[in-house]
Amino acid sequence: MRGLNMNEKFLVFDIWADYAHFKKPYTTTSPLTFSIPPRTVITGILSAIIGFQKDEYHDVFTKELSKIAVSVKKPTKKVRISENLINTKKSFNVIHERTQIKIEFLKDPSYRFYVSHKDRALFEKIKYCLSNHNSVYSVSLGLSENMANFKFIGEYEAKEELKPNDFIDIASAIPVMQLSKGNVDFSREGEYFTEIIPLQMDKERKVKEYGEVLFERTCNSIFSKPEVYYKLLGLGENIVPL
């Protein structure tokens, strides 16, 4: 690929909405949501901002080409809202049949995304859109009706670090595979959860990889010793890509 960027830099931006829903695939009649946006959702949001179609961005944001991390900026809250599903096979303007279901939503969600990419041209395009608050397509958190807003925080040099000798603060969610037994200090006040989330999809939107991640529900950092992490110089945050 042309224009590979050998310097490790991350673009950082915050995103929020009134509601969000990241559907768990095994739930049908009463859809449940993941607590944090999976990596596949974040790549979809980036693609909407820069104007990629749904079937063309999966090969662009592979784990080999891009690094993506996420942190929770507001405490995770979930609510259930009843919605009417309408049978549109007979008519779009006359209701013949409807089914009421309860959908689980995240209330007032807010996250911070950290994005790095080896393609310098693509990296600069993302930076331009974020810094100018431009978006080719509408940005939402999960469902199309969950319209979102975003704010560019900045571009930061990143230094890759290996497992530290002492516990350090990690701002982002951490893939469990980056942690060994005893490498998280749970004595700190916090609410810790793990979820198995999608990490990569193919062009047919079939999940190629899942991964278990650890996050702290109330926005506290995770005091831990990850195998590999990135120190964002100038921002003062340590992250672990998904």
Class of the 9-239 domain? alpha beta
Q: Confidence class of residue 71 from pLDDT cuts 50, 70 and 90?
A: very high
Q: Confidence class of residue 4 from pLDDT cuts 50, 70 and 90?
A: very low
Q: What is the pLDDT of residues 19-70, one digit of tens each?
A: 999 999 876 678 999 999 999 999 999 999 999 887 777 888 999 999 999 9
Task: State the burial class of residue 110 (Cβ atoms within 10 Å of its Cβ: 0-12, 13-18, 19+).
Answer: buried
Residue with tokens 């749970």: 186
Residue with tokens 């049949």: 97
Under 8 Å between Cβ of 31 and 19: no
* The 207-216 sheet, strands edge to edge: 174-175, 207-216, 192-201
d(CA 240, CA 242) in angstroms, rounded, equals 7
pLDDT at position 92 is 64
pLDDT at position 201 is 83
Q: Confidence class of residue 2 from pLDDT cuts 50, 70 and 90?
A: very low
pTM: 0.91
For the chain, the domains span: 9-239
Residue 85: how many other CB atoms lie within 10 Å: 12
Q: What is the pLDDT of residues 88-100, one digit of tens each?
A: 777 667 766 777 8
- Between strands 9-17 and 98-107, the pairing is unpaired
Q: Where are the beta strands (DSSP E) in 87-147?
A: 98-107, 110-117
Task: State the burial class of residue 242 (Cβ atoms within 10 Å of its Cβ: 0-12, 13-18, 19+).
Answer: buried
Tell me the angle at which helices 39-50 and 120-131 cross, rounded to the nearest 10 degrees.
80
User: What secondary structure letter does DSSP report for 119?
Assistant: B
**Length, in residues, of the chain:** 242
- The one-letter code for the residue type at 30 is S
Q: Confidence class of residue 203 from pLDDT cuts 50, 70 and 90?
A: confident
